[in-house]
Structure formats: C-alpha cells, structure tokens
Structure 1
C-alpha cells in the first residue's frame, strides 16, 4: 500500500458539533483555527490517547459538549468547574491525558474570570493568567506516563512556559504550530519523561 493510502486511512473526519455560537449556545466559543489545530495535534498522537472526559467553567459550553458527544455517538459527561479544582485530590497521579484550550488572548485583567463566552478568550496579562493558575496542578494530576496538551499563541511566551513546567519535572515541546491570521498558534505537549518525540 502506498504511503498516501496509509496516511488517508489514519485521518479522522471532522466531528459533528453542536451549534456553538448560536442559540441556545450563543455563549459558547465556536470552533475556529485554534480548535482545529488542537484536533490535528491530537489526531497526530491518536495512538497515544485513550478515553476522555472534559471540564469547563461555562455551563452552556458543558451542555454543548454533551450534545456534541451525542452527535458523534460518544459517551461523555462534562463537569462544570473552575479548571481542575473538583478533580483534586481524587485524580492525583491518575490523569493520562489532559488537554487545555485556554483563554489565551491578551486582555485587561478585569476581563478574566467571567462565566460566559468571554471566559473562552480573556487571558489577562500576556494571555496567561488562567494558564498560570493551572500550571502548579499539572504535575500533581498527571500519571507517570501522562501527557498534557496546551494550546498557546506567541504572545503567551511558549518558551517560558516550557521552562516553567520543566522546573516541575515536565519535558515539553511544540508538537504542532500554525499561523492563523496575525496569531502564531502552537500546541505544546508535556510529559514527565522523555516521551515527547
């Protein structure tokens, strides 16, 4: 079989998704370039990944996720929580895959912390205020072979984030990068050991 045929066999179709951005999900971020880049990075690592659940601070986003999972014949139970607060300490050291598409847009700090659609993009100073709150919890959550995927833009200083998490014992690198308009998007992948290739 040719390599082109092999590559085509490994591709997954874009999932059906609930009408994000439209009623009743008008407070839900509609999938865009960042969402699809993250999906591409996860598809690239599909053989490493298994099972999933998700959390969101926006109740409408959780409902939209539930509807999307039904459209794609998946069993998923979204949890409404701030970051991973409700998962600790119960899931300490047990998370094999953690995916975070954070609010990364540089905004005034007072815009951070909303519960509606602004929570999907308002990242505060350097677009990092929400991410920086999560970083200390990552080493506690990940299993020995756990992977952490993080979507970033160049304004967030991905190199600094990789150095910061390296101090916590996590190795990281950009596994996929793409230009989207004026934004340079990257998906960073972190692990406890050198499983980053």
Structure 2
C-alpha cells in the first residue's frame, strides 16, 4: 500500500487535526499485511472512524476500487481534511461529521478501522467532546485523550460493534499496552467476536498493538 501524499496539509491544519505519526504508520503496515485477506472479503463498505488527516482511509480507497470508503469524525475539520487528502491522491472518500457510527446503517460495515484516542487521561478531559465552529482548534485533545485506561471511546465502540459490523466484517483496532489489550480481547470474546493481535510494535514512549476482530 502506498502512503498517501499529505503535502496539501499545513502546520495550521495540524493544530486542529491529528498529524500522522508512528501509530498511523503501524496501522498502515498492518493493513498492508492483511490486504490479500481484506480483498478476499470483497468489502462493499469500508469505514474509518476518526481519520484525522485521512491517510489510512485514502490508502484503502486506492486499493479497494469497488468499495465505498467512508470516514466519520466528530471534528468537521478532520472530515474536510480527509476529503482533501483523498482528492490529492486521485481517489474518493465520503466523510461524515458525527460521533463514531451514529449515522451508519446497522450491520453495514465490512471493513472497520479505528486508531482511537487511546492515551490514558482523567475523564475530565472528555467532558465536552463537541467541535463547534472556532472552538474546534481547542479540541484537538479529543483525538488522543482516552480517559481511564485510555478505554472510554474504545469501550463505547466495542459495545456497539455487533450492531454495525456486517456478518463477514473485520475490524482493525489500534490499542496501547496501557489499554489492557488482553482484557479487551476477553471482553470481545464474551460479546461473540474473535480478537487476535495482528501486529505489535514498540515506539518511543509507547507499545502498540493492532487487533484483528471478526465474528466467531
């Protein structure tokens, strides 16, 4: 998979959206490893939640020519950046300004990708996760602040996963060691999913995992 061009985004943009970093590139590496499997599913709908700059979903869109590629983000500026990144790389991604999967049809997603806000923080960081007009630049915190164990947003999505993932769907989720991935895997198993560690990597200050999650 080619890493998409992002030269259209500026320093000012990255004050308001998440800039691609080591976690982003780990997720790209995992998806490249899994690409043959992903294509074998013939996914009709791909969704990235929280795309930031849009590099992940754009890379997928370039590979999955017959798949409707979508992105949802609570930050409208990230939605705009994602569309621009897709256009810069000669592909198309539709972005939707909403929280997680609020605007999606049930059991409609064949390929789901999420690099969540996973950093362990106090829950006070998450009290007002709304992006409104000029306040958006003050809310970059919501792209990384994860609350207790860094799991608040992750757990919210996991609890909604059965309603959104199609019968053949696969979910690639990035987590931090402090997010207690083994506990998360057990929780997913109890909800009827099979979760395995697809790839892991130590980066400066963090140890990251990509979980591959399917229905049992």
Same fold flag (TM > 0.5): yes
Indicate conservation of the 8 Å contact 1:148/1:191, yes or no.
Answer: yes
Kindly provide the CA deviation profile for residues 93-114 of structure 1, in whole angstroms up to 9, marking residues without a partner as x. Answer: 2210111110000011011225
Q: Which residue number in structure 2 is paired with residue 160 of structure 1?
A: 183
Shift in CA distance, 21/179, structure 1 to aligned 2, threshold 3 Å: farther
CA contact (8 A) 1:25 1:64 kept: no
| Residue of structure 2 equivalent to 1:22 | 11
Cα distance in 2 for residues equivalent to 1:94 and 1:80: 18
Give the structure with higher Rg (CA).
1
SS at match of 2:197: strand
Which residue is 2:148 aligned to? 125
What residue in structure 2 maps to residue 150 of structure 1? 173
- Aligned pairs for 1:1-197 (under 5 A) are 12-17=1-6, 22-47=11-36, 48-49=38-39, 50=64, 51=67, 52-87=69-104, 91-112=105-126, 113=129, 115=131, 116-193=139-216
Give the root-mean-square deviation of aligned CA atoms.
Answer: 1.5
How far off its partner does 1:13 sit? Answer: 2.4
Offset at 1:144?
A: 1.3
Find the counterpart in structure 2 of residue 6 from structure 1: none
State the secondary structure of the residue aligned to 2:103.
helix
If the length of structure 2 is used for normalisation, what is the TM-score?
0.79
> When you count strand as a share of all residues, which structure comes out higher?
2
Structure 2: state its 5+ residue gaps.
40-63, 132-138
Q: Is the 8 A contact 2:101 2:164 kept in 1?
A: no
- Structure 1 residue 25: Cα displacement: 4.6
